[in-house]
Amino acid sequence: MRKIQVQGVHHITIIGADRQTSIDFWEGVLGMPFIFDQPNLDDPNEGHLYFDPGDGRLITIFTNEERKPDSTPVPEAAGSLHHLALNVSQATFWQVAARLDARGVAHSGPVDRGFMDSIYFRDPLGLRLELASYRFEPPEGCRHADVMIEAHKIRVARGHHHIDREHLADAIELLVERSQNSLSGDRSARKGY
């Protein structure tokens, strides 16, 4: 047997209500450009709206004018989606609570996740969303996942409960040392002044 190697999320499709609710929320609240519109090719009674979440991937929504928004929380059961996490910059993250408050949207407030900041709220159809913001930028040529795996190894070796800023900083230093050459024979820390 051999693996089926995936290379990222292609798109996520959500069952929506009417067309305008989807446009108002995904573009009007979350700023995702509405980039493509066609019928649902599997159900002629539905529309299929496409939004760009900012990384060129897609969030798509099946719409039906017969369905009305229902903000009842989406059930949480085995096999169900718990939440959809979307990336935002730190600059945007610290504006989220006030911008949700201005709309009267209930939210968790900022949540400290050690390696990132999060805020949770529900969309007009009861789907829990997370806006997440990493507290670090990976070194050139590395991905966030590269930093996370190294930070995890450091955290486990030190017997700490969860990844925090110290682990991230040490992981970044390690990755830079591994991936970027230096003419110095000794790259250890020094007083320097």
Mean pLDDT of the chain: 96
Contact 136, 172 (CB under 8 A): yes
How confident is the model over 100-157, as pLDDT tens digits?
999 999 999 999 999 999 999 999 999 999 999 999 999 999 999 999 999 999 999 9
Using DSSP bridges, classify how beta strands 128-134 and 84-87 pair: parallel, antiparallel or unpaired.
parallel
Tokens for 97, please give them. 């609570």
Contact 128, 107 (CB under 8 A): no
Q: What is the pTM of this model?
A: 0.91
Q: Answer positive or negative: Cα dihedral of 166, 170, 176, 181.
A: positive
| Cα 75 to Cα 82, 128, 160, distances in angstroms | 8, 10, 33
The whole-angstrom separation of Cα 54 and Cα 57 is 7
How confident is the model over 171-182, as pLDDT tens digits?
999 999 999 999
